[in-house]
Amino acid sequence: MRAFALAGILAGVVATALAAQQPVLPSVPQALSLKDAVDLALRYNPGYRQVANDRSMAAWGVRNAYTQLFLPSLSTSMGFNYRGAGSQTFLTQKFEQGSATIGSDYSIGLSWQLSGTTLTQPGLAKAQQRATNASIDGAQVNLRAAVQQQYLAVLQSQAQVEIAQVQVTRNEEFLRLAQARFEVGQATQLDVRQAEVAKGQADVGLLQARQAVRVERLRLYQQIGVAAPEDPMVVTLTDSFPVTEPTWKLADLLRSADEGNPDVAALEARAAAARSSEKSAKAQWFPSLSFSAGWSGYTQEFTNSDFVLASARSSRNSAIQQCDQINQDLLNPGVDPYPCPAPLSASDEQGVIDANNVFPFNFSGQPFSARVTVSLPIFTQFGRESRIAQAAQQADDAREQVDARRLQVRTDVSQAYYALEAAYQTIGIQRTNRVAAQEQLRLATERYRVGSGTFYELLDAQVASQRADADYINAVYAYHRAIATLEAAVGRPLR
Looking at mean pLDDT, say which of 66-75, 320-329, 374-383 comes out highest: 66-75
Q: How far is CA 243 from CA 420, 428, 465, 483, in A?
A: 11, 11, 22, 11
pLDDT-derived band at 187, boundaries 50, 70, 90: confident
What integer is the mean pLDDT of 2-6? 38
* Residues paired with residue 105 on neighbouring β-strands, in sequence order: 79, 298
Averaged confidence pLDDT in the chain = 87
What integer is the mean pLDDT of 293-309? 90
The amino acid occupying position 403 is D
Strands 236-237 and 288-302: unpaired
b/e 449-477 (16+ beta carbons within 10 angstroms → b): eeeebebebbbebbebbbebbbbbbbbbb
Cβ atoms < 10 Å from Cβ of 21: 7
Q: Out of 125-134, 146-155, 331-340, 397-406, which region has the weakest mean confidence (pLDDT)?
A: 331-340
CA torsion through residues 463, 469, 472, 477, sign: negative
Question: Is residue 408 within 8 Å of residue 485, measured between CB atoms?
Answer: no
- Write down the pLDDT at residue 255: 92
Judged against a pLDDT cut of 80, whether residue 238 lies above it is answered with yes
Q: How far is residue 144's CA from residue 41's CA, in Å, rounded to a whole number?
A: 8
Question: Is residue 69 within 8 Å of residue 272, measured between CB atoms?
Answer: no
pLDDT-derived band at 260, boundaries 50, 70, 90: confident
- Write down the pLDDT at residue 26: 63
pLDDT-derived band at 10, boundaries 50, 70, 90: very low
65 Ramachandran zone, left/alpha/beta (phi>0; psi -120 to 50):
alpha
Q: At what angle do helices 189-224 and 34-44 cross, to 10 degrees?
A: 50
Judged against a pLDDT cut of 90, whether residue 84 lies above it is answered with no
Residues 6+ apart with CB under 8 A from 319: 340, 341
Count Cα atoms within 13 angstroms, Cβ side, for 149. Answer: 14
- Write down the pLDDT at residue 91: 67
Per-residue pLDDT reduced to its tens digit, 455-475: 788 888 888 888 999 999 999
- Write down the pLDDT at residue 429: 95
What integer is the mean pLDDT of 430-443? 91
pLDDT-derived band at 262, boundaries 50, 70, 90: confident
Helix (H), strand (E), coil (C) string for the chain = CHHHHHHHHHHHHHHHHHHHHCCCCCECCCEECHHHHHHHHHHHCHHHHHHHCHHHHHHHHHHHHHHHHHCCEEEEEEEEEEECCEEEEECCEEEEECCCEEEEEEEEEEEEEECHHHHHHHHHHHHHHHHHHHHHHHHHHHHHHHHHHHHHHHHHHHHHHHHHHHHHHHHHHHHHHHHHHHHCCCCCHHHHHHHHHHHHHHHHHHHHHHHHHHHHHHHHHHHHCCECCCCHHHCEECCCCCCCCCCCCHHHHHHHHHHHCHHHHHHHHHHHHHHHHHHHHHHHHCCEEEEEEEEEEEEEEECCHHHHHHHHHHHHHHHHHHHHHHHHHHCCCCCCCCCCCCCCCHHHHHHHHHHHCCCCCCCEECCCEEEEEEECCCCCCCHHHHHHHHHHHHHHHHHHHHHHHHHHHHHHHHHHHHHHHHHHHHHHHHHHHHHHHHHHHHHHHHHHHHCCCCHHHHHHHHHHHHHHHHHHHHHHHHHHHHHHHHHHHHCCCCC
Per-residue pLDDT reduced to its tens digit, 396-417: 999 999 999 999 999 999 999 9
Q: Out of 206-210, 328-332, 428-432, 478-482, which region has the weakest mean confidence (pLDDT)?
A: 328-332
Q: How far is residue 226's CA from residue 223's CA, in Å, rounded to a whole number?
A: 8
Phi, psi of 234 (to 5 degrees): -75, -20
Per-residue pLDDT reduced to its tens digit, 204-224: 999 999 999 999 999 999 999
More confident residue, 16 or 149: 149
- Write down the pLDDT at residue 17: 39
The amino acid occupying position 373 is T
Residue 370: which of 72, 67, 64, 69 has the closest Cα? 72
Q: How far is residue 273's CA from residue 140's CA, in Å, rounded to a whole number?
A: 21
Question: Is residue 398 within 8 Å of residue 271, measured between CB atoms?
Answer: yes
